[in-house]
Structure 1
Amino acid sequence: MSSLGDLLARAVELGASDVHLTPKQRPVLRINGGLYVADFEPLADDEMRIIAQELVPPHVRGQFEECHECDFSHVEVGVGRFRCNVFYGKGVPALALRHVKAEIPTLESLNLPPGLRSCAAAPCGIVILSGTTSSGKSSTLAELIGLINRTEQRRIITIEDPIEYEFVDDRSTITQREVGLDTRSFATGLRQVLRQDPDVILVGEARDAETLRIAIMAAETGHLVLTTLHAGTASLALPRLLNEFPADERDRVRQAVAANLHAIVCQRLLPTAQGGLVPAVECLFNTPIVRKLIAGDAIEKLDAAIETGNEDGLQSFDQAIFQLVRQGIVTERVGLEHATHPEKLRMNLEGIFLDDSHHILT
């Protein structure tokens, strides 16, 4: 596997977030959101089979043989840790490897709003990190766990698939469990974790109703639960969550979420003017107004609550992008491309702001 090791070392040296290996093609690196062909020879079908056979760890080989795809973590000695997905294409294995940096990130290093510190300080409740794939959710979760670890004496148990960032106990005591290796599934691990005296529970991904149901119950019984959900905006995360449940359960679940939600944080990664990536962050904290809207099934009004809740730390994507453009971190073109409401953002950048009745404020 020396050739793979050389490739991964080169990828890390270039700052690549992902490495893609497909048969008969040169390896491809994702750097700052763009795809670049690496200066390595194409891998033949047999070479791909050998790499897959050597990389896939014993605890997921059965899954790989049955389902022809699996997730796991891989440590390349002297290079770093990678989150791996091996899958078949046209009968031959292909791989996607994401580099997981060894250093636990901080709010400052990730350019995240300081208001997110409240998510780590909360004694209980649910914190949901949402966004599309590759929007930085895992890094933000790691930062929150790292912040708790540095500042609080708490018992933290994580359930991940696979383990990405590795934590070393500081003020907190942390156990990391990997689905497939340490527990059968997220739901199974969650059912057992309540007997393990946790203060904080991290669930790598809320994939189904059972996992969500147990996570909500854990928050109701005084635990802080952090998890991720795929949704494009903070307000869309709630319908996404509720739709996982049968229709006759949704009202009860919605009331439970209204009572126990701490925050929904949604991210988008934007290319910077300097050539890197920066997150635009939408923040929905469970203020009394937000709680009332959720409990009253007025979720369609959450966007307005976010727009007008800046004093309480709430922030829309467009407000976040407005600041990034004003600070010269991203260009206006990039900002408009990633905005939820591009025309509204364009008007704001021109100094025109409208109230709810579409009257010009400035």
Structure 2
Amino acid sequence: MSKASQQVFRLIALHNKLLPEPELDALLAEFSDPLQALEQLVQRKVVSEKKAAQFQSVFKKQLDKLTAEYLCEADETPQPISPQTPKSSESSKASTAAEAKVVAKNESKRLAKPGVELIHGLMLEARRMGASDLHIKSGMVPVVRVHGLLKDLPYPSLTADVAEQSLLAILTDAQRSAFKADLELDFSYDGGEELGRYRSNLLFQHRGVDGVFRLIPETIPTFEQLQLPDAVKRFTEHRVGVVLVTGPKGSGKTTTLAAMVDRINRNRAEHIITVEDPIEFVHPCKRGHVNQRQVGTHTKSFSNALRSALREAPDVIMVGEMRDLETTSLAITAAETGHLVLATLHTPDAIRTIGRILDEFPPKEQPQIRAMLSESLCGICSQLLLPGADEKSMALAVEVLVNTQAIGHLIREEKVHQIHGVMETGKQHGMILMDDSLIRLAKEGRIAPEMAYEYAQNQKYVKAELALEGE
């Protein structure tokens, strides 16, 4: 079983990103006993003693299961070898191949069994592959999204019973009851240090129960890592007003908001309240004091949380999403009464974001809301996250509106359609149009020109700019 135990060790080590694959193979070639190899990593200070102990516990547990199943397999198909006859290199290779087949077969058996272990194994694989999402589907092969594209995992299809039992196994009793009552469930799942956190959704569909898990990075990215413009970073320096991060699903809005909150938390001794559905990034208190509230768990709704937040002495309020009229009205009121409010909307650009906010209100209230928004709006960052030209990365395109006296005047005077022209001439304030961002990414070779055309608002302009570059 030495080869089999090495293969189990190798599989778990790759899942946990213990070492790059070539270095791991070299280590296992040097030490036939995987636990000696692990001890070497501790001595070399590659892994901590705590992490090594956790890893060893998982390894031994899997090895015990494999040993029992391997022995059963050997009893069913005995392959006696005479002790007087040494193995030839060919027979040794055949034996190793046979052991590998047993490992693979038992791994498939394990994944066919319903339970938390199945979900955790798929989560580990998704994180190892650098996926953004994991889809567990009844009657189908599990799927991950890597660099914007869906890919099947090399596992067998999950029956409806296995998928349902496994997905329900990761829920609390309260979540299980809510799911059965509402037929869908939004929640965050914390798999601990090994698995990380996930924004999760379960739903019923015609084949059975499905689960979708958005992988949340282990650390909060910085502005530099996200390659966000300096104008967006400057939004966090405001003490009062509304900052909006917008874009379609999967465009990185939550990550940008988290980077904003983290920057304020690191640089200002202020009280920050976040209202999320569900909580994704966890913010430890640094210079700031952060309270994170989850809708459905810590508060009944965004509007309830916002209303009470005004009596909780916050300096900064982060709203996961302005979903309705009441939440939007309370967010603007909070900004008017001396708070910095960070929020998201599912709108594609700055102009339509302003229009969406105004359209939430009845016509008789719009003059007042226009006046309030023209004063309280700090800026808008609209985002698109696009597959990179190398098919191994994602590229972030952004549109940035910075509220100036001219922008505020157009909002008050119902001339929102003229804002585009002001943004074209407002580069000195840090303003960026989405089409210009797409052109820059295409010229830098980070996205394909066809991708820029596809997402352009003014395709004629984008094509002309990229054609001139080609000449």
Q: Shorter-chain-normalised TM-score: which range? A: over 0.9
* Cross-structure match for 1:37: 152
Deviation at 1:67, TM superposition (A): 2.1
1:326 is aligned to 2:443? yes
Give me the whole-angstrom Cα distance separating, in 2, the residues matched to 1:301 and 1:6: 53
* Cross-structure match for 1:347: 464
Deviation at 1:37, TM superposition (A): 0.4
Give me the whole-angstrom Cα distance separating, in 1, the residues matched to 2:460 and 2:245: 27
1:20 pairs, out of 135, 153, 158, with 135
Give me the whole-angstrom Cα distance separating, in 1, the residues matched to 2:281 and 2:320: 11
* Cross-structure match for 1:124: 240
- The amino acid across from 1:348 in the alignment is E
* Cross-structure match for 2:376: 260
Deviation at 1:70, TM superposition (A): 1.6
Deviation at 1:195, TM superposition (A): 1.1
1:112 is aligned to 2:216? no
SS at match of 1:108: helix
**Contact 2:198-2:280 at 8 Å conserved across structures:** yes
State the Cα deviation string for residues 7-37 of structure 1 (Å, max 9, x = none).
1000000000001111100011000000000
Give me the whole-angstrom Cα distance separating, in 2, the residues matched to 1:121 and 1:76: 34
Give me the whole-angstrom Cα distance separating, in 2, the residues matched to 1:250 and 1:90: 44
1:238 is aligned to 2:354? yes
State the Cα deviation string for residues 31-63 of structure 1 (Å, max 9, x = none).
000000011222211222213322334454454
**Contact 1:163-1:178 at 8 Å conserved across structures:** yes
1:50 is aligned to 2:129? no
Written as runs of structure 1 = structure 2, the 5 A alignment for 1:130-149 is: 130-149=246-265
1:305 pairs, out of 409, 422, 445, with 422
Give me the whole-angstrom Cα distance separating, in 1, the residues matched to 2:468 and 2:229: 23
- The amino acid across from 2:152 in the alignment is V
Deviation at 1:246, TM superposition (A): 2.2
Give me the whole-angstrom Cα distance separating, in 2, the residues matched to 1:290 and 1:264: 12
List alignment gaps of at least 5 residues for structure 1: 353-362
SS at match of 2:202: strand
* Cross-structure match for 2:71: none
Give me the whole-angstrom Cα distance separating, in 1, the residues matched to 2:364 and 2:134: 44
1:290 pairs, out of 403, 407, 419, with 407
1:80 pairs, out of 178, 196, 206, with 196
State the Cα deviation string for residues 92-117 of structure 1 (Å, max 9, x = none).
22111000012011111111112111
- The amino acid across from 1:117 in the alignment is K
**More relative contact order in 1 or in 2 (CA 8 Å, sep 6+)?**
1
- The amino acid across from 1:232 in the alignment is P
* Cross-structure match for 2:309: 193
**Contact 1:59-1:181 at 8 Å conserved across structures:** no
Give me the whole-angstrom Cα distance separating, in 1, the residues matched to 2:468 and 2:302: 48
1:279 is aligned to 2:396? yes
* Cross-structure match for 1:156: 272
Give me the whole-angstrom Cα distance separating, in 2, the residues matched to 1:286 and 1:92: 49
Higher strand share: 1
2:367 pairs, out of 243, 247, 251, with 251
Give me the whole-angstrom Cα distance separating, in 1, the residues matched to 2:186 and 2:138: 19
Deviation at 1:190, TM superposition (A): 0.5
1:335 is aligned to 2:440? no
Task: Give the direction of change, closer, same or farther, for the CA distance of 1:201–1:347 in structure 2 (3 Å limit).
Answer: same
Deviation at 1:308, TM superposition (A): 1.6
State the Cα deviation string for residues 317-357 of structure 1 (Å, max 9, x = none).
011112212222222222222221121011122449xxxxx
1:203 is aligned to 2:293? no
- The amino acid across from 1:272 in the alignment is G
Pick the structure with greater CA Rg.
2
Task: Give the direction of change, closer, same or farther, for the CA distance of 1:126–1:325 in structure 2 (3 Å limit).
Answer: same
Give me the whole-angstrom Cα distance separating, in 2, the residues matched to 1:48 and 1:253: 48
Give me the whole-angstrom Cα distance separating, in 2, the residues matched to 1:190 and 1:83: 22
* Cross-structure match for 1:359: none
Deviation at 1:189, TM superposition (A): 0.5
SS at match of 1:169: coil
**Contact 2:118-2:166 at 8 Å conserved across structures:** no
2:184 pairs, out of 69, 75, 83, with 69
Give me the whole-angstrom Cα distance separating, in 2, the residues matched to 1:67 and 1:183: 18
- The amino acid across from 1:64 in the alignment is F
> What percentage of aligned pairs have identical amino acids?
35
Task: Give the direction of change, closer, same or farther, for the CA distance of 1:59–1:122 in structure 2 (3 Å limit).
Answer: farther
1:10 is aligned to 2:125? yes
**Contact 2:138-2:207 at 8 Å conserved across structures:** no
Deviation at 1:138, TM superposition (A): 0.4
**Contact 2:160-2:207 at 8 Å conserved across structures:** no
**Contact 2:138-2:164 at 8 Å conserved across structures:** no
- The amino acid across from 1:28 in the alignment is V
Give me the whole-angstrom Cα distance separating, in 2, the residues matched to 1:337 and 1:91: 34
